[in-house]
Amino acid sequence: MEIARPYLLFLGDVPDALAAKTAVGIVDWRKDWCIGQVRLQGCAADTGLSDMTIGEGAGAGAKTLIIGAVNAGGRLPDHWIASVVEALDAGLDVASGLHVRLGDVPQIREAAERNGRRLHDVRHNSMTFATGKGTKRRGKRILAVGTDCSVGKKYTALAMDRAMNERGYQSTFCATGQTGVFISGRGVSLDAVVADFISGAAEWISPETEDDHWQIVEGQGSLFHPSFAGVTLGLLHGSQPDGFIVCHEPTRTKMRGVETPLPTIQQVIDMTVQCGSLTNPDIRCVGIAVNTSALDNDEALAFLAKVGEKHGLPATDPVRFGMDVIVDKVSAEFGAP
């Protein structure tokens, strides 16, 4: 899948920044690929890019409109369709990470055909996956896991991959969600894979490699989330992580979108070891990544110190403070590069 750049990011009218995490993630890691953002009236998200109309974006040289916002169930709201058609009529391709296929919407399919434009459904793929086998394979892997959805698993994995490469490790980021695929150019949106084949798809994402090569696997959902734990468990079994990083947001009391209480970090560590040992008996936690964006600097440092001491593990905010302390732990546990 070759998606033409630069991107024009469509945020729709989503109610908060988390709902626009695809667009925000692209800007955070590939800002140089982006020209601007399109927001409908009432949109409460902002990537910091210049606001543009679709016509202005096309005039500025945009090649692809990226639908950078999501909602529960990955649907395309009816009132967004006109904007997608407008982009196609303006000569742009359109790429989406939603569950619905763009071409299944008659107005969009017809606009793409009459303009000779391409539709990219990143959440869908033409791959046929085998069921997971659980056979130990060469290489080393780290998986980001979470106390909840949208707590920073993608950012943690990307930051860890960057930090390990900077420290001399051979490391590769493995994308398992639509935003990660936009950022890396390769991967599979696991939440769109038929349930029986999720662990097999995770094995494909993180295949056998050299003994000293690390694959840093983007996490999905949470083992404790009643809506998404099935995807999380399949990813855990298929990726066979040697190490995992627990990702946490400290101000939440309930899991996102449901009334289920948030699990503790220790509960996540224990459950991940218990379930992950099925395919890697040597699985271990190598660190804790905390999204401290809701805390001031002193509060963040105090919270990280408290959490690290409580669990006997390095704790950091990947965005604020980097991943060096967790790379140090990996070096101590598995050896330097």
Domain ranges of the chain: 7-121, 140-334
Q: SS3 string of 235-248?
A: HHHHHCCCEEEEEE
Give the pLDDT means over successive 10-residue stretches in the chain (337 positions): 88 92 91 96 96 98 94 83 98 92 96 96 84 96 97 96 96 92 84 92 96 97 97 98 98 95 98 98 98 96 98 97 98 95
Rounded distance between C-alpha atoms, residue 325 and residue 313, angstroms: 9
CATH of domain 7-121: 3.40.50.720
**Helix boundaries (H) for the chain:** 21-30, 54-59, 81-89, 106-115, 153-166, 178-184, 198-205, 229-239, 265-276, 297-311, 318-321, 324-334
pLDDT at 61: 97
Laid out side by side, the sheet with 34-39 consists of 34-39, 7-12, 64-67, 93-96, 119-121
pLDDT at 328: 98
Tokens of 263: 């699990």
Strands 170-174 and 213-217: parallel
> In DSSP terms, which residues pair with 64 in a beta bridge?
7, 93
Find tokens 């919407």 and name the residue. 105
Do residues 39 and 33 touch, judged by C-beta distance below 8 A? no
Do residues 322 and 316 touch, judged by C-beta distance below 8 A? yes
pLDDT at 70: 80
- Region label for 78, one of left (φ > 0), alpha (ψ between -120 and 50) or beta (otherwise): alpha
pLDDT at 73: 67
- A 10 A CB-CB count for 281 gives 9
User: What's the pTM value of the predicted model, to 2 decimals?
Assistant: 0.84
> What architecture is the 140-334 domain classified under in CATH?
3-Layer(aba) Sandwich (3.40)
Rounded distance between C-alpha atoms, residue 306 and residue 120, angstroms: 45
The closest alpha carbon to 40, from 10, 9, 71, 78, belongs to 10
Q: Can 7-121 and 140-334 be said to share one CATH topology?
A: yes
Q: Work out the angle between the directed axes of helices 297-311 and 265-276 (0-180°, nearest 10).
A: 50
Distance of CA 27 to the CA centre of its chain: 13
Tokens of 33: 């690929």
